[in-house]
Copies of this chain bind each other. A is one copy, B any other.
Amino acid sequence: MKFCSNCAAPVAKRVPPGDNLPRWVCDQCGEIHYENPRLVVGSIPEFEGKLLLCRRAIEPRYGYWTLPAGFMENDETVGQAALRETLEEAGARIELGDAFSMISVPYVNQVHIFYRARLLDLDFSPGEESLEVALYEEARIPWKEVAFRTVATTLKLWFADRARGTFSFHAQDIIER
């Protein structure tokens, strides 16, 4: 059972007039409550060829390693979200580079976007959602302990682009759960 956030009446899922998908519709006040995918935004902070990873202090994937990233908030740009999450999770100051990867994950209704970034100093430290933060060279990336496939994919694309000598933007999908 769900309720209308405007008037507290019960809502039902049905296809509104002129639409072709079922929505949560309030018959009392007429409000249609849309549900849309969320953006997860992060950075790939580099320092002398090493990348900054955070070990998660929260579920899901407690104890696993990830790039600094999180849900984009209202009232910010995608780039501002990447800067904010990097500061919050890794206590790290970065200079943002180009957008690097955009990965759709439809089964969780998310789109993950990562920016290239230059770590400005070594004065980083874990935020509340991280157990530790560390720089990894390619050979030492803990691949089996990477938290999310969007992060593993982004890291692999980054190292492949670096090996090729040129970075480009990558749009991909992870369809299978």
Contacts and interface: CB of A to CB of B under 8 A. Distances in A.
Interface of A: 2-8, 10-11, 18, 21, 24, 33-39, 71-80, 98-99, 102, 104, 106-107, 109, 111, 113, 128, 168-169, 171, 173, 175
Contacts of A33: 5
Nearest 4 CB-CB pairs, A to B? A77-B104, A169-B169, A3-B8, A99-B171
Contacts of A106: 74-77, 80
B6 A4 contact: no
A79 B79 CA distance: 21
Contacts of A75: 106-107, 109
A77 B4 contact: no
A59 to B, nearest CB: 13
Given A3-B5, A6-B2, A8-B8, A35 B74 contact: yes
A21 B107 CA distance: 27
A171 B168 CA distance: 13
Given A4-B5, A73-B21, A99-B102, A78 B171 contact: yes
A32 to B, nearest CB: 12
A74 B111 contact: no
Given A71-B34, A106-B75, A109-B74, A99 B169 contact: yes
A111 B4 contact: no
A154 to B, nearest CB: 15
